[in-house]
Amino acid sequence: MRTCKEVSKLISESLDRKLPLRQRIALKMHLVLCRFCRRFRKDLQYIRGHIRQQTDDVSIYEEKLSDIARDRIQRLLDSES
Amino acid sequence: MENMIEVDNKKLEPASWVEEHGDFLYRYAVSRMRNSESSEEVVQETFVAALKHIEQYQAKGTERAWLLGILKRKIIDFIRERTRTVSLSEEKIIDLPDTLFDQSGNWNKDIQSAGYTPLCSLERKDFWRILGGCLKKLPSRQADVFVLREMEDQGTATICSELEISASNLWVLLHRARLQLSNCMKMSWKLDSE
């Protein structure tokens, strides 16, 4: 029987590659029995799904290019164009 | 048809790039690089590179999409350089995920006894703020591979060759990053709602 720590690694890896059959079976069996690992998997899937849904949407950020950087870049563009 | 002609004739206007796209690109960079100085640097490099290769712009997409494509490439380059300079010893010392498990490899008691609040009930704005805060707490290499894999949607083979690490090394880093991130996000969210 694999530990939760080992299984959490399989859960993570399953997001990056297709696991070998034996590991897939071990993972499935463990998940049936362990709700903490099920939660971990659910959270990871959610994080991935949420990020990919709005990957180019930066509207929630409020940071702005600083005035110094803005001027510097503008001057650079003006001088090179 | 008229629209298409207009698109074909669309000209790039470097003089207004900073005004039009500066903040957008900067925000995108900050969300990936987690550091304002480096972000300003890549935005500047992006504009300079765009100007240099201005003849390669094909009016298929918008000016902004074109600039974003260049920025994304610059971010990968920057992260690759940064990974080279992070000392391995620094990364080895920090092995926090072990605190999430007890000695026999089960989730530790705190995690087991904490009521489960699925992350999916997070509001969109909170999600990004909390994700950003938690990424900053990760060891830099772990955060970088997470950004490339999840935020930039790069394949594992690409990441391995860009960062010159083995696949098994990458899986270890991603595993640690995900463990800590999901835990940190839940903790921060809980603190928020208390």
Q: Are residues B56 and B141 in the same domain?
A: no
The reply to whether residue A61 touches residue B31, judged by beta carbons under 8 angstroms, is yes
pLDDT tens, position by position, B87-134: 554 555 455 557 899 989 999 888 877 777 777 777 777 888 899 999
Clarify whether residues B23 and B37 are in a common domain: yes
B107 and B174 part of one domain: yes
Q: How far is the C-alpha of B1 from the C-alpha of B62, rounded, in Å?
A: 17
**In this model, does residue B6 exceed pLDDT 70?**
no
In which band, very low, low, confident or very high, does the pLDDT at B4 lie, cut at 50, 70 and 90? very low
Q: Closest-CA residue in chain A for B146?
A: A48
- Which stretches within chain A are classed as H helix? 4-13, 21-33, 35-53, 67-80
- Res B46: pLDDT: 97
What is the interface pTM, i.e. ipTM, of the complex? 0.91
How far is B143 from B176, CA to CA, in rounded Å?
10
| Shared-domain flag, residues B64 and B92 | no
> How many other CB atoms are there within 10 angstroms of residue B13's CB atom?
11
Q: Are A34 and A14 in contact (CB under 8 A)?
A: no
Question: Is there a contact between B132 and B34 (Cβ–Cβ < 8 Å)?
Answer: yes
- What local confidence, expressed as pLDDT, does residue B24 receive? 95
The answer to whether residue B39 scores a pLDDT higher than 60 is yes
pLDDT on residue B95: 53
Residues B185, A6: C-beta atoms closer than 8 Å: no
Of A37, A40, A58, nearest to B31 by CB-CB distance is A58
Residues of chain A with Cβ-Cβ distance to B172 below 8 Å are: 9
Q: Please say if the pLDDT value at position B5 is more than 60.
A: no
> What pLDDT band is residue B9 in, cutting at 50, 70 and 90?
very low
Residues 6+ apart with CB under 8 A from B26: A63, A64, A65, A69, B39, B40, B43
Q: Taking Cα atoms as reference points, which of A50, A26, A27, A35 lies closest to residue B131? A: A50
Distance CA B45, CA B60 (A): 23
Do B70 and B154 sit in the same domain of this protein? Answer: no
Residue B119 shares a structural domain with residue B73: no
- Among B65, B85, B105, the domain-final residue is B85
pLDDT category at B190 given cuts 50, 70, 90 is confident
Is the predicted pLDDT of residue B79 greater than 90, yes or no? Answer: yes
What percent of chain B is modeled with pLDDT above 90?
56
- Domains of chain B: total: 2
Q: Which residues contact B74 (CB under 8 A, 6 or more apart)?
A: B42, B45, B46, B49
pLDDT in tens, B131-187: 999 999 998 899 999 999 999 999 999 999 999 999 999 999 999 999 999 999 988
The CATH number of the domain holding residue B138 is 1.10.10.10
Within this chain, do residues B15 and B111 fall inside the same structural domain, yes or no? no
pLDDT exceeds cutoff 60 at A65:
yes
Question: Which residues from A are below 8 Å from B151, CB to CB?
Answer: 51, 55
Does residue A67 belong to the interface with chain B, where contact is any CB pair within 8 Å? no
Domain end, chosen from B85, B119, B147, is at: B85
Domain positions in chain A are: 1-55
- Look at residues B139, B114, B123 and name the one whose alpha carbon lies nearest to residue B192: B123
Indicate yes or no: CB of B120 within 8 angstroms of CB of A46. Answer: yes
Angle (CA) A69 A72 A74, round 5°:
105
Range of the domain at B76: 2-85
pLDDT at B3: 39
User: Which is more confidently placed, B42 or B122?
Assistant: B42
Structure tokens at A10: 């399989």
CATH number at residue B76: 1.10.1740.10
Residue position matching structure tokens 């298929």 = B60
CB nearest A50 (choices: B104, B127, B178): B127
